[in-house]
Amino acid sequence: MKYFNINDEEIIEFGIKETIFVPNHKVNDEWARLKNTILSGNGKVFVRGYGREAKNTSLYMDLYKEIFGHNQFYKDPTNNHEPTKILKKLTGYARQEKPTVKYEQIRNYQVSHIFGKTKNPFLFTAPWNIVYVPKIIDPFTGHESKGELTELFQKKFLSYFHDYYYEYIKEFNEIMLDIKPRLEEYFYDRYQFNPKFRDDALEQFSPIIL
C-alpha cells in the first residue's frame, strides 16, 4: 500500500469505521426472537447450505432436528437472503436500491458474517454477527485470505466487535456449552458419519473464542 501512501493501520481503521453494523440497542429484540424460534420451533429458522452446491445440506437438517427437536429449519434461498433482510431492517441501509423514505441507499458494500459459523442457526441470522463491509475491505475478512495484513486486520476487526457485542457472545457461548453433550451424543450414536462433516459441525457449534 506504500504506492498509495496508506499504511496498514489506516486501512484497518478505515475498514472498521466504514463497516455498517446493527446498533447494540436494536440487537436485543431480534436476538431474543431468534433464540425463541430455534428452541421452540414456532417459526421458520433459516440456515446456510452445506457442501458443493449445497448438496449435503440434508446432513445438517437431520442434525438440527435431532438437537432441537423440530423440523422448522430451511435453507436460505440465496445463502444470504435472510441476513441481508435483517441488516436492511435494523440498519436502515439497503444495497442496489433507489433511496426511499425508509431505506438509505449504499453502494460497493458486501454482507459479511463477523464470526463466521454460518451453518449454526444461532449465528446465520444473529443481528450481532452480520454487517455490511466495504467491498474493498471484504477480502481481508474472508477465511481464505492470507498474509500479515489480513491477520492483523482480522485480529483487530474481530476484537472490536467482540467487545461491542460481548453480552450476546457470552450468551451464545453458554448456549453452545449446553448443546455440546447433545451434539457429542448425536455423533456417538452415528459413528459411521464421515469425519469431515462431524468436524465441521463441532466447529460450527463451538463457542466464539478469540
CA distance 126 to 172: 10
pLDDT at residue 188, as a whole number: 84
Question: For residue 10, what pLDDT is reported?
Answer: 82
By residue range, what is the domain housing residue 98? 2-204
CA 20 to chain centroid: 14
Per-residue DSSP letters for 108-169? SEEEEESS--TTSHHHHS-TTTEEEEETTTHHHHSTT--SHHHHHHHHHHHHHHHHHTHHHH
Q: Residue 140: is its pLDDT beyond 90?
A: no
**79 within some domain:** yes
pLDDT tens sequence across 4-22? 566 778 888 988 999 999 9
Q: What pLDDT was estimated at residue 40?
A: 96
Mean pLDDT score, 87-111: 87
Whether 209 is in a domain gets the answer no
More confident residue, 62 or 3: 62
**167 pLDDT above the threshold of 90:** yes
Q: Give the pLDDT of residue 191.
A: 62
How many structural domains is the chain composed of?
A: 1
